[in-house]
């Protein structure tokens, strides 16, 4: 089994989060890696409540969850527009599946991915084959990963050229900082903006403008976590913003505090 990765991009106050919970991101089985970016496993035993915050990625998740004093459940979490907040207390366990942007529809082909956006659906009618005990009960993480692999492989995902195109365009928006506008992203594939927006609605769940902006904010968060003397004007230019004011506006709207306040708080939202 591949070693769990420690990438924390998107987690607000990552150092504080990792000090409080046991967090791992192991890989899925080889046949699933075209669809699944990674699994994410969290176990906690907290003496006092803790609130975690995540700036969401353009990704759909299936999440198996067990909180102390509650019945375990599984949910499909579509792409969330705003800051995702979760209160953790007592003891608990989460086993999540993070799908690659554009790849979730292979597991739920009957509706566009945009239909899940902003929603967290717990109904077992949506996932009738979800074995909560197999995923959440084992203490050894290898058994949990095996159960997640079996759950997804049983759904028999099939390749889809349109999904592959959507995934490639999302990755292009993430990696190429010269792409600052939707028109520029559409031009890289020789398609119209309207067609690009339809493709993203069907397979990603959010529009290309949202994706471009969100990856820039993830980068700004990571830089703020790693430096207490960050040149925000230089970072704004590096991320493709017209000026620092535009970065500050987007960062504040997404994270909830201005970037300088975030850095002063040691990477947290208070």
**From CA 171, how far away is CA 103, in angstroms rounded?**
12
- Give the pLDDT of residue 232: 86
**Residues of the chain with confidence (pLDDT) below 70:** 1-7, 9, 124, 227-228, 265-270
Q: Kindly report, residue by residue over 52-86, the tens digit of the pLDDT.
A: 988 889 999 999 999 999 999 999 999 998 888 88
- Give the pLDDT of residue 56: 87
- Give the pLDDT of residue 81: 86
pTM of the model: 0.87
CATH 2.60.40 maps onto the chain at 11-153
- Give the pLDDT of residue 217: 86
Task: Provide the CATH number for the domain formed by 11-153 in this structure.
Answer: 2.60.40
Write out the CATH class of domain 161-264: mainly alpha
- Give the pLDDT of residue 20: 94
- Give the pLDDT of residue 49: 94
CATH 1.10.10.60 maps onto the chain at 161-264
């Amino acid at each position: 089994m591949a070693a769990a990765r420690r990438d924390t991009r998107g987690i607000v106050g990552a150092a504080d989060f990792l000090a409080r919970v046991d967090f791992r991101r192991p890989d899925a089985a080889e046949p699933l890696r075209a669809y699944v970016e990674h699994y994410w496993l969290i176990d906690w035993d907290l003496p006092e409540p803790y609130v975690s915050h995540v700036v969401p990625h353009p990704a759909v998740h299936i999440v198996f969850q067990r909180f102390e004093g509650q019945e375990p459940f599984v949910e499909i979490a579509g792409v969330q527009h705003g800051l995702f907040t979760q209160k953790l207390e007592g003891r608990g366990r989460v086993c999540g599946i993070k799908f690659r942007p554009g790849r979730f529809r292979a597991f739920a082909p009957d509706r566009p991915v945009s239909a899940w956006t902003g929603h967290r659906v717990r109904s077992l009618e949506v996932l009738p084959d979800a074995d909560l005990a197999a995923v959440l009960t084992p203490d050894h993480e290898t058994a949990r990963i095996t159960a997640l692999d079996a759950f997804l492989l049983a759904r028999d995902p099939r390749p889809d050229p349109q999904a592959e195109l959507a995934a490639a365009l999302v990755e292009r928006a993430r990696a190429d900082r010269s792409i600052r506008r939707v028109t520029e992203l559409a031009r890289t594939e020789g398609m119209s903006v309207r067609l690009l927006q339809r493709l993203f609605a069907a397979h990603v769940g959010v529009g290309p403008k949202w994706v471009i902006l969100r990856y820039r904010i993830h980068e700004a968060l990571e830089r703020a976590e790693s430096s207490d003397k960050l040149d925000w004007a230089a970072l704004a230019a590096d991320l493709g913003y017209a000026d620092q004011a535009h970065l500050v506006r987007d960062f504040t709207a997404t994270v909830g505090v201005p970037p300088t306040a975030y850095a002063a708080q040691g990477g947290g939202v208070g």
